[in-house]
Structure 1
């Protein structure tokens, strides 16, 4: 791939805006160039009047002069579209608390755009509709921010946590990662009460405050891999269903979380783990193909109950 040097210079500027200080080695790694080339990019910024300060020697680094304010932001058409769509997609993450802030941010974005891009974003507001999934759990944005800080600063978090059995416990947690998966947010880290790694659903955290005590998180911790192993215990039903459609017909219409689709008998064998059989039964009825439930028997009972309700509604 060919890179435009001017784009690399702008990338250096963006990295310096985002960080208080960036080492020359990191800039070279991010841009895939030599340290000498990084020096040329920095010199180019300085020639343009951007006050970039440098520290020489081993571990040398660059920063923008403290107090320097950059001119108004400029976006390409794709960047403006990405930002506008991202602001509108907050409901899909269960962050309805942030919607007023998103509207203000959208208005600020619009004011920074030239007329043609402003018209494109305005058209997006008029013609694009994003449906909020019923499976997304609403999340307190302030709680999410606090947990982000706990993980970023390495501060222990003191939680009041409600289990699925409605039992309340006080937990002191070293939060390693905060993850959104399958419609819910989770905090993952070391629980000092249990003396082991645990995951905590944010919608079950009733209080949270940060403590002065700090910790050092493990390097390269994979929270998603841990959740894949841990969460099946929260889904008590092992489901095996055959559907009269090929796997490619179902992909994109089925949650991939703890779900396996494989071809079988001119159709698809779907095995998964779920907590709510009623919502899964509704999915089966709405997928639009014939199916056969092999397990669990509780799912067949839920489907019989739904069939009776449908018959009563039709007779009414």
Structure 2
């Protein structure tokens, strides 16, 4: 292999697998001399890749963690796997999949060859994810367009459907995407209304980055998550919730989204949730039902009513299934 850039890329691809490579094996793989391998290793180090060498009969080279992350090489299978995983998480606002993940997805999809983009779409369309949200799914392409506009500071146009069904066209300066663990929101400056707004991303359609750049404005609260929280409080009244669980805080915490509130241990196998939320009590009832342990709702009484209704529907559904069987 006489093409030095191509050889360096192939060498880097080999080194990015988690193992140590003897110099002789690398030379055989790339059809060059061990001396050429040593020179190429020095070139990679100059480019910022921390390649460690060990001496001895079984010595070799391996890539180690450094202080910065240089460009990462992925083969076709790895790129498809990462894109599918990020798309699945982004489309359902899974807890922990935040704006950084969506930015990574936007970058990855921008450079994926068409044959790999097709494979990603086929895999996603053939997969039905099991989610614990309210069913509000999002086209990942909508998120990647928004994330790219946020990063590039480009004005964004889109159609928006409000909670009452009214449809409008918006042009905004996008500031941040925020995931609450069950929904995605866009915090942006609405140019027509000349004010800051939050938009539920699952109500957005046909987003388009206009290419027009803008200088970032100062958000009133200085933090997108705080701004979203205040906006939701104005739209929907906040409700105090208190629930005790017959399981440890660690057990319950692994089954409830962190955004629902902190858990207070009250014993080795018990804990208490005290929180104030501006979300629908129907959603809270569903999340509590998925906690996989016994629990008691102390307040509010409306949450108990939602749980009774949910339990009744589930019981009727189970009875119907038993009769048909």
Q: Is the shorter-chain TM-score for this pair beyond 0.5, marking a shared fold?
A: yes
| Equivalent in the alignment of 1:56 | none
Cα deviation, residue 228, structure 1: 3.9
Q: Cα 1:282–1:75, aligned 2, differ >3 Å: closer, same or farther? A: closer
| Equivalent in the alignment of 1:263 | 265
| Equivalent in the alignment of 2:228 | 227
| Offset from partner CA, 1:144-195 (integer Å, 9 cap, x none) | 3432343233332233322222223333211122334413332222123443
> Retained in 2: the 8 A contact 1:237–1:296?
no
> Retained in 2: the 8 A contact 1:241–1:271?
no
Alignment of 1:308 onto 2:305: no
Alignment of 1:289 onto 2:271: no
Cα deviation, residue 82, structure 1: 9.0
Count of aligned positions: 234
| Equivalent in the alignment of 1:299 | 303
Q: 1:280 aligns with which of 277, 284, 305?
A: 284
TM-score by length of 1: 0.56
| Equivalent in the alignment of 1:36 | none
Q: Cα 1:83–1:295, aligned 2, differ >3 Å: closer, same or farther? A: same
**Unaligned ranges ≥5, structure 2:** 1-7, 14-41, 48-71, 93-105
> Retained in 2: the 8 A contact 1:243–1:270?
no
Cα distance between partner residues in 1 of 2:288 and 2:45: 63
Give the secondary structure class of the aligned counterpart of 2:164.
coil
Cα distance between partner residues in 2 of 1:46 and 1:91: 34
Q: Cα 1:90–1:282, aligned 2, differ >3 Å: closer, same or farther? A: same
Alignment of 1:88 onto 2:88: no
Cα distance between partner residues in 1 of 2:260 and 2:287: 16
Cα distance between partner residues in 1 of 2:284 and 2:296: 13
Q: Cα 1:263–1:212, aligned 2, differ >3 Å: closer, same or farther? A: same
Once the two structures are superposed, the pairs formed by residues 1-316 of structure 1 within 5 Å of their partners are 45=43, 84-85=81-82, 87-94=84-91, 104-105=115-116, 131-135=129-133, 137-211=136-210, 213-218=212-217, 222-233=223-234, 236=237, 238=239, 239-264=241-266, 266-273=270-277, 275-312=279-316, 313-314=318-319
Cα distance between partner residues in 2 of 1:212 and 1:306: 47
Give the secondary structure class of the aligned counterpart of 2:273.
strand
| Offset from partner CA, 1:89-137 (integer Å, 9 cap, x none) | 4212218xx9x9799549999xxxxxxxxxxxxxxx9xxx995414263
| Equivalent in the alignment of 1:119 | none
Cα distance between partner residues in 1 of 2:233 and 2:249: 23
Q: Cα 1:311–1:186, aligned 2, differ >3 Å: closer, same or farther? A: closer
